[in-house]
Structure 1
């Protein structure tokens, strides 16, 4: 599925939906893909989840650039515009390659 998709949008759902969404976000964090991942925040369904993720950044369990990989909007068209503008952050693997190549020059 990940290979065929241009991006990933989760709608309000239960534990399975949340688990699948975080798996695909984790794949992005690990550099397995660089596609946008977003939540369609219907009726503010995901607001408290995003507040929790912001808290994980404050507590230094999640890097800010990894948190920024999760896009969210309550309007489908705006969310798709965010997808079009999305620029993935460098993953740890990409940062290592960049540092290694700069050290050799």
Structure 2
């Protein structure tokens, strides 16, 4: 009897864990590095609407960085993952980096 109850408790805990894991959404941004870095989170602000506005301030600091390595290290520190990197321009002097970060839906503003 105790084993059955223990098994049911474990099963319920696992189901709750799986249900909460589905409340995640990926958000993306682009950083273009030429002589200086420039970040873009898109033009439609409602698609990147976070409740915590300090996250925007942290992302704006990317615009102060001057090279790709600093951008990669800083974005990694903020929890962003590189999706793609490609070079454009003369002698590959322009690099475009795409990042994504997973947010819980509770961190996003409601429509």
Q: TM-score under structure 2 normalisation?
A: 0.27
The structure with higher relative contact order (CA 8 Å, sep 6+) is 2
Structure whose alpha-carbon radius of gyration is higher = 2
Looking at secondary structure, tell me which structure has more helix per residue.
1
Q: TM-score, normalization: structure 1?
A: 0.28
Instruction: Give the structure with the larger strand fraction.
Output: 2
